[in-house]
Amino acid sequence: MNHSTSYQLLTFYQFVDITDPQDQVALHKQFCTDIGMMGRVYIGEEWISATVTGNVWQIQAYTLFLASNHYFSKIPDIELKATEVDNHQFDKMIVRYRSEIVALGKTVTAKQVSESDKQITVDELKRIIDEGDDERAILDMRNDYEWQLGHFKWAIPAGTVNFREVQELIKKYKEKLQDKKVVMYCTGWIRCEKLSVLLKDEWVDNFFALDGGVVKYTNVHNDGNREGNLYTFDGRVSCPIWDENTHTTIAHCIYTWEPSDHCANCRYSPCNARIIAEPKAYRKHYGFCSTECRDKGMNDLLIKNIDRDPVDFKSLRGLIIQDPTQKQAIRDKVQKIIKKKTLHAEFPHKKSQKEKVLYEW
């Protein structure tokens, strides 16, 4: 009898004061590797953050391992943070030290977070969206390219491409949203909890963080109040969060402008833009987001490999390093391949589609 293996993806974080983060890194790395999990775990003086995949027994073993550690025995709602996936979403296990849970140039303590934390429940956000509330504003604290793929109804994007930019916007948030009670949210609450400390330092008291973020809301309510897919930093990249009765698509393919939930990266490495692209159209344009990236790729060969490529671009670059006299012949070969692959492709965009701010504060 054949038995299919059930896999889960577990993602969580916790602000906690850790005096021996390097020792904890070593312990986690040994345990996670021994039981065969895949994913990423980061540990620093202020925190732990993890996104890992494994079969149900591996995930259960890992949660028991956490429960036995005095630092991580009280991770809130960890039983709600595992979701079913088809297979491993990572190809290796990484456990590393990082000084900050999210890069803002400032570390915080667990006490600061608890003292600054002003929460709003998922039920309260549901009421605000369902009934409408002119006295509230919903602020999506994720980066704008994440907002573009999917967001809560009526949500305003943070106006960032990288979260560290948010420090420069706090005063603008304070000025433009001073007459509102602001519900801010992110994927799993990490950014909002750290941002709460900064807001308190700036004497901002009208911002409330959504308890548990998007992940907790969608685990509790299947109501369609969040439109589009969820951007994830794992193998899924673009993840549907509702069933077929409540899901809506709000993003559009950069090549065809047809509605799409698919997300990919430009194959020209110096660009690497996160783009919304239907798989068929992405293949037709050979993974380049623009004519600029295609032409630069044909010239300097800085092209990322994907499945079913007729050549290994990384190996070709290695051959040129070993023998520079082959450069022109290899370049001619690559140009011939790419011109053939994109023969019938019309690029709507002439310039790189590198992420940019969608909402100016």
Task: Enumerate the active-site residues.
Answer: 186
Q: How far is CA 183 from the centre of its chain?
A: 20
User: How distant, in Å, are the alpha carbons of 10, 72, 138, 154, 158 from that of 134?
Assistant: 36, 40, 11, 11, 19
Residue 281's closest CA among 247, 251, 255, 312? 255
Q: How many residues does the chain have?
A: 361
Q: And the tokens for 308?
A: 């079913």
End-to-end alpha carbon distance in the chain: 60
User: How distant, in Å, are the alpha carbons of 55, 71, 304 from that of 87?
Assistant: 8, 29, 24
Give 3-state DSSP helix, strand, coil % of the chain, rounded to 5: 35, 20, 45
Q: How far is CA 47 from the centre of its chain?
A: 18
Say whether 265 sits in a helix, a strand or coil: strand
Q: What is the dihedral of CA 58, 102, 147, 178, to 10 degrees?
A: 130
Cα 112 from Cα 222, distance rounded (Å): 33
Rounded to whole angstroms, the maximal C-alpha distance in the chain is: 69
244 Cβ contact partners less than 8 Å away, ≥ 6 residues apart: none
Q: How far is CA 238 from the centre of its chain?
A: 9
Strands (E), the chain: 7-15, 38-44, 47-55, 82-85, 93-97, 119-120, 136-140, 150-152, 156-157, 181-185, 207-210, 226-228, 230-231, 238-239, 263-265, 274-276
Cα 23 from Cα 29, distance rounded (Å): 10
